[in-house]
């Protein structure tokens, strides 16, 4: 257990797979940089794998003052046991005040195991992190990590803190923090840690690993066209594909549309799907449940098409079209194609 | 070869049916104001455990930490086929975060003879997916998270397929192990009518005490105790008593339980307020739609 200290650094778990850094670690470094500057301490990345030292410099470009490199042949493939053990040792050696992870399948497997071993607090799936004070019965705890997340099915936004045991840990959703601009001139320090790993740290045997080709890259698209339950059927979802094709956009969907089998889960936008922030988001036949809005409300422009004028999606839309999507969408396609 | 499975389950508010009174002033959830359901992915974990039991033999124990009302999901587990049901209920469990919860569950599960612990990946009220891995660490067993298929179980060794977002992995591990199971893993069986008829009378001791008190509003405490005791013994003889454990029975160290054992605290709760935006109403006509598209082309939103 690590007690509260004010000198501790701000750490980011820099996720890498097969020698390639995941974007989430770079996104988090941008925020860690800001948090560390606010606290007047250093920001550091924790990089784990086999022969991964070459990746350290890039982490510095994205905001790390320091990179702790934990290399070992047995750490080539991620496992919760081995990675949590070496992080546990590192945390106890340097006593960081904050440690953040991506809320990826890997981060959500790893962080709770570390939290349990260190007996530290952990908040899942944050959408924002800030520094602020907390007052509790006349005691003011200054400069805590405010861990902000939707809770209760997205109906509320909770800010969570931990003031009596550190490190303050959180996992953060992918795509909610803008990617920082790299600065190649930043002064930095790369620290290769001596570590000891044995086969006892590797209870799992990874028999095989298969990539499932993502059918759509929602995050990278400038325009997203999403359909909801209001589209009515899988056949009718063709309209969404047609509109997306006309715009060079990615087709998205609400959870309801996915659950109804209109489209594959890869397309799901929202709290339990992908978070997007495109230049243009077109919501077709989507009522606008909070859970869906959580994944798209930061879009620069939103067009909503719904026949119910009371649909909550209209509260956040820039262009409101009350009408039958079966008529409106073909008109949009026509206007785009003819540009007249 | 038989395998014993323990399935930690949670009663959760149905977050799809939120009403205005759902939150207390201090930011905690007013569970009384919401319909309470069996956490969906815990049903998938229970189903997988039942499949293992049906194929290999052994015993399935459902266990929950919660208010007396959580006995309902233990009964539901019995309807579906669980062999045993345990309620951990204690006022000192209140305000436990995921770390304290995993500590308390770990104290209870250590009292059981288990080969596999099967959790749902996450509960729909918090969506944290933390308790499974935290519990695995406390039990000092490996974890296989996001299990979508059990491929084999032989010679005290499991092969499972786990969904890792970008694809899937097949992993092998020696028992004991903790799995977290995702919704895609299976289709949970429904209650068996015969078992429903039998176990709908199953009760936890605290439920019996509450019922006896309600039925005898004018009785003395000593009398109530006796009535409850008689009823508890009756149910036990019929195999209809849900086991009930408290923190003393678990030998739990109170510094790791409840509010004291929970490092995470609520700083603030805000209702989601939708920000009003400058918006235009577009007529659903050919002209209206075309004007909008042109505007978006002009400001380079559409290229």
* B82 is a domain residue: yes
- Ranges of each domain in chain A: 10-201, 223-338
* B46 is a domain residue: yes
The residue of chain B nearest to residue A289, with distances taken between CA atoms, is B16
Q: Which of A293, A298, A328, A332 is nearest to A313 (CA)?
A: A293
* B139 is a domain residue: yes
pLDDT digits (tens, 9 = 90+) for B10-24: 999 887 665 556 666
Same fold, A10-201 and A223-338: yes
A contacts of B165 (beta carbons < 8 Å):
104-105
Domain assignment of residue B63, given as a range: 5-204+242-256
Selecting from A116, A144, A312 the residue whose C-beta is nearest the C-beta of B102 gives A116
* B145 is a domain residue: yes
| Average pLDDT of chain A, as a whole number | 93
In sequence order, what DSSP letters do the residues of A268-309 get, joined into one string? Answer: BBSTTSB----SEEEEES----HHHHTTTTT-SEEEEEES-T
pLDDT digits (tens, 9 = 90+) for A151-173: 776 667 899 999 999 999 999 99
* B48 is a domain residue: yes
Q: Taking residues B39-46, report their average pLDDT.
A: 97
* A94 Cβ contact list (under 8 Å, min separation 6): A8, A9, A68
Q: Which of B150, B143, B88, B148 is nearest to B117 (CA)?
A: B143
Number of domains comprising chain B: 1
Confidence band for B177, pLDDT divided at 50, 70 and 90:
very high
Architecture per CATH, A10-201: 3-Layer(aba) Sandwich (3.40)
B contacts of A132 (beta carbons < 8 Å):
267
Chain-chain contact of A212 with B136 (C-beta, under 8 angstroms): no
* B41 is a domain residue: yes
Confidence band for A220, pLDDT divided at 50, 70 and 90:
confident
- Between CA A6 and CA A299 the distance in angstroms is 37
The pLDDT, as a whole number, for residue B302 is: 87
The pLDDT, as a whole number, for residue B251 is: 97
E-state strands within chain B = 5-9, 11-13, 36-38, 60-65, 84-88, 116-120, 143-154, 157-163, 167-174, 177-181, 243-245, 265-271, 280-282
CATH of the domain at B122: 3.40.50.620
Angstrom CA distances, A320 to A222, A232, B168, B303, stand at: 20, 20, 41, 21
Confidence band for A114, pLDDT divided at 50, 70 and 90:
very high
pLDDT digits (tens, 9 = 90+) for B178-228: 999 999 899 999 998 999 999 999 999 999 999 999 999 999 999 999 999
The residue of chain B nearest to residue A126, with distances taken between CA atoms, is B128
The fourth-level CATH superfamily of domain A223-338 is TPP-binding domain (3.40.50.1220)
Please give the residue that has the higher pLDDT: either B21 or A262. Answer: A262
The region of weakest confidence among A86-95, A304-313, B20-29 is B20-29
pLDDT digits (tens, 9 = 90+) for B240-254: 999 999 999 999 999
In which residue are the tokens 């002009």 written?
A: B298
DSSP lists the bridge partners of residue A49 as A71
Selecting from A158, A209, A305 the residue whose C-beta is nearest the C-beta of B169 gives A209
- Tell me: pLDDT of A48 over 60: yes
Any CB–CB contact under 8 A between A152 and chain B? yes
Chain-chain contact of A301 with B296 (C-beta, under 8 angstroms): yes
* B297 is a domain residue: no
pLDDT digits (tens, 9 = 90+) for B60-119: 999 999 999 999 999 999 999 999 999 999 999 999 999 999 999 999 999 999 999 999
> Within a 13 Å sphere around the CA of A333, how many CA atoms are in the beta-carbon half?
16
DSSP lists the bridge partners of residue A226 as A252, A283
Instruction: Kindly report the nearest CA distance between residue A225 and chain B, in angstroms.
Output: 13
The percentage of chain A sitting over the pLDDT mark of 90, rounded to a whole number, equals 79
């Amino acid at each position: 257990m690590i007690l509260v200290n004010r000198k501790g650094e701000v750490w980011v778990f820099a996720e890498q797979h097969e020698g390639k850094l995941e974007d989430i670690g770079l996104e988090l470094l941008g925020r860690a940089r800001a948090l560390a500057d606010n606290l007047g301490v250093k920001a550091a990345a924790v990089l784990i794998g086999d022969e991964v030292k070459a990746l350290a410099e890039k982490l510095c470009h994205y905001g790390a003052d320091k990179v702790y490199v934990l290399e070992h042949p047995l750490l080539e493939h991620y496992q919760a046991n081995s990675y949590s053990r070496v992080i546990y040792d590192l945390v106890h050696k340097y006593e960081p005040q904050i440690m953040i992870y991506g809320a990826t399948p890997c981060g959500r497997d790893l962080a709770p195991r570390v939290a349990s071993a260190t007996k530290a607090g952990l908040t899942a799936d944050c959408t924002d992190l800030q520094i602020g004070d907390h007052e509790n019965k006349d005691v003011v705890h200054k400069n805590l990590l405010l861990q902000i997340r939707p809770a209760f099915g997205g109906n509320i936004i909770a800010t969570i803190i931990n003031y009596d045991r550190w490190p303050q840990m959180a996992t953060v959703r992918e795509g909610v923090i803008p990617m920082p601009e790299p600065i190649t001139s930043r002064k930095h320090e790369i620290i290769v840690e001596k570590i000891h790993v044995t086969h006892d740290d590797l209870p799992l045997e990874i028999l095989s690993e298969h990539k499932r080709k993502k059918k759509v890259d929602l995050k990278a698209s400038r325009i997203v066209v999403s359909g909801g339950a209001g589209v009515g059927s899988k056949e009718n979802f063709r309209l969404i594909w047609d509109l997306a094709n006309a715009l060079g956009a990615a087709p998205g969907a609400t959870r309801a549309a996915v659950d109804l089998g209109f489209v594959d889960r890869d397309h799901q936008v929202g709290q339990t799907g992908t978070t997007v922030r495109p230049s243009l988001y077109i919501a077709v036949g989507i009522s606008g449940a909070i859970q869906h809005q959580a994944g798209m409300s930061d879009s620069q422009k939103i067009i909503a098409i719904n026949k119910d004028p009371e649909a909550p999606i209209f509260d956040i839309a820039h262009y409101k079209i009350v009408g039958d999507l079966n008529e409106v969408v073909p008109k949009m396609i026509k206007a785009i194609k003819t540009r007249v | 070869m038989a395998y014993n499975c323990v399935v930690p389950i949670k009663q959760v508010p149905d977050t799809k049916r939120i009403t205005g009174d759902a939150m207390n002033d201090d930011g905690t959830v007013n569970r009384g104001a919401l319909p309470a359901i069996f956490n969906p992915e815990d049903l998938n974990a229970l189903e997988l455990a039942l499949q293992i039991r049906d194929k290999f033999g052994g015993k399935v124990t459902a266990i929950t930490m919660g208010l007396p009302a959580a006995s309902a999901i233990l009964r539901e587990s019995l309807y579906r086929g669980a062999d045993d049901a345990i309620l951990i209920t204690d006022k000192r469990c209140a305000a436990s975060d995921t770390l304290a919860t995993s500590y308390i569950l770990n104290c209870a599960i250590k009292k059981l003879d288990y080969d596999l612990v099967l959790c749902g990946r996450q509960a729909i009220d918090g969506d944290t997916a933390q308790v499974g891995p935290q519990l695995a660490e406390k039990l000092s067993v490996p974890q296989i998270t996001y299990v979508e298929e059990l491929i084999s179980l032989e010679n005290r060794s499991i092969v499972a397929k786990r969904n890792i977002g970008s694809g899937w992995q097949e992993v092998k591990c020696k028992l004991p192990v903790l799995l977290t199971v995702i919704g895609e893993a299976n289709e949970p069986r429904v209650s068996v009518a015969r078992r429903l008829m039998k176990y709908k009378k199953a009760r936890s001791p605290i439920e019996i005490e509450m019922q006896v008190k309600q039925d005898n509003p004018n009785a003395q405490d000593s009398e109530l105790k006796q009535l409850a005791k008689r009823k508890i013994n009756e149910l036990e003889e019929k195999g209809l008593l849900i086991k009930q454990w408290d923190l003393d029975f678990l030998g739990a160290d109170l510094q790791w339980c409840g509010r004291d054992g929970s490092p995470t605290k609520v700083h603030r709760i805000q209702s989601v307020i939708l920000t009003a935006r400058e918006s235009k109403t577009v007529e659903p006509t050919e002209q209206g739609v075309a004007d909008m598209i042109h505007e978006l082309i002009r400001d380079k939103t559409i290229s």
